Amino acid sequence: MQIDQIRIALWTAFARHHIYKRVATELAAYSDRQLADFGLGRYDIPAFAQRAADKAVEATPAAARQPHLHFIHAG
């Protein structure tokens, strides 16, 4: 793998994890009744959050997934 491919893979994994945590945290804040209104139970939250994260990352164009790192050369 080239450095750019590794960087994109790491950035994608980070983005997927960030979205997963955000969705899972938001759903966990709902009451059982509210989750039931969505057709979900508490046990569904991890799988639902994972699917949401996967779809969000897949929907993002590859070019947008590239991290924008700026290096400062001291010299």
Mean pLDDT across the stretch 60-73? 58
**33, amino acid identity:** R
Mean pLDDT across the stretch 61-72? 57
Q: What share of the chain is helix, strand, coil (3-state, %, to 5)?
A: 70, 0, 30
Q: What is the pLDDT of residues 15-65, one digit of tens each?
A: 999 999 999 999 999 999 999 999 999 999 999 999 999 999 888 766 555
**Residues 54, 8: Cα–Cα separation, whole Å:** 15
pLDDT exceeds 80 at position 71: no
How many residues in total does the chain contain? Answer: 75
- Among left, alpha and beta (phi > 0; psi -120 to 50; other), residue 39 is left
**pLDDT of res. 5:** 84
